[in-house]
Amino acid sequence: MLAKGEDSSALTAALVRMLRPLVRLLLRRGVSLKSLYELLKWLFVDVAAEEFGPSGRHRAVSRISAMTGLTRKEVARLVSLPASSDRESEARYNRASRVIAGWRRDPDFSARRGGPGSLVLKGEGSTFAELVRRYSGDMTPKAMLDELLRINAARVLRDGRIKLMVRSYIPGAGDGERIHILGADVGHLIRTIDHNIENTDSQRKCFQRKVSYDNLPAEALPEFKSLSAESSQKLLEKLDEWLAQWDRDNNPNVQGEGRYTAGLGIYYFEEEYRERGDADEK
């Protein structure tokens, strides 16, 4: 366990609550403790080298060894290992998300009565091919259409036009994109909480709120789930329109310094209530 002390005890309890659902997920997917331990060793070394390691390879290895408790030989081995990557899943997720958002937002691809229009695949004017070219980068129209059809985000009508069926991109079950979301979204949340813990100045803190009650009947859950989804979707669509004005991929003429990622994440949760026992505090 971690070193003793009030802060350490609170951190240990927080880690148990945070890691319990992750461990459950890993067990379901056949990830062994040995494999996880090897990954954690590499990650400790990588983060230490990235954020705290001094210049000079020998000094860095010695410093990282002292910080992580690993031998210098083990640190040197881990430093040489290649980093894992989910760039392909990330790229597919981002491209499909941008295409759907552009389809819903861009007036060039809207129906006369509003909302996303049904588009012909190719040709002149506001076609599906033009939508993909404008919002997906180098992905071909056929590849994007296949992806949207695969996850039931779009369908081809009898007249050959393509109709959007969803309000946002949700990857199919078992896809690498869903695993990418696990890393990206949980990572963003932890970085936000870490930022707020480290910053005592309220002006520098990031927005972090939730609403929850722990004595609800099961009958209330379906309505709350529906209400929260609808309300959250409207807010996210409003923020999407605002952010899109400043995004250089959508508007190459946007001026300003640096390149940043910013956004707002919303998630729904429900579970059967149980008393927090000693198992959650160890």
| 156 belongs to a structural domain | yes
Residue 39 lies in a domain: yes
- In a domain, residue 192? The reply is no
For residues 240 and 275, membership in a common domain is answered with yes
Q: With respect to residue 187, please indicate whether it lies within any of the assigned structural domains.
A: no
pLDDT tens digits along 262-271:
999 999 999 9
Residues 98 and 76 in one domain: no
Residue 119 β-bridge partners: 162
Largest CA distance in the chain: 69
Domains held by the chain: number: 3
Asked whether residue 64 is assigned to any structural domain, the reply reads: yes
Q: Are residues 93 and 156 in the same domain?
A: yes
Check if the beta carbon of residue 41 is closer than 8 Å to that of residue 74: yes
Contacts 24+ apart (CB under 8 A), 13-20: 13/280, 13/281, 16/279, 16/280, 16/281, 16/282, 17/280, 18/190, 20/280
What is the spatial distance between Cα 44 and Cα 41, in angstroms, rounded to a whole number?
5
Kindly state the percentage of the chain with pLDDT values over 70: 88
CATH number of the domain enclosing 99? 1.10.10
The predicted-structure confidence for 151-202, as pLDDT tens digits, reads as follows 889 999 999 999 999 988 777 655 666 777 888 889 999 999 999 999 888 8
Kindly indicate the confidence band of residue 61, based on its pLDDT and cuts at 50, 70 and 90.
confident
Domain boundary among 131, 149, 164: 164
The pLDDT of residue 114 is 83
Q: What is the pLDDT of residues 104-125, one digit of tens each?
A: 989 999 988 888 999 999 998 8
Q: Please, what sign has the CA dihedral across residues 50, 51, 53, 54?
A: positive
Q: Which domain holds residue 34?
A: 6-84
Indicate the residue among 33, 50, 84 that finishes a domain.
84
Both 225 and 259 in one domain: the answer is: yes
Question: Does this model's pTM top 0.85?
Answer: no
The answer as to whether 194 is a domain residue is no
Are 50 and 78 contained in the same domain?
A: yes
User: Is 111 in contact with 79 (CB distance < 8 Å)?
Assistant: no
Residue 203 lies in a domain: no
93 and 78 co-located in one domain: no
Domain end (from 132, 148, 164):
164
**96 inside domain:** yes
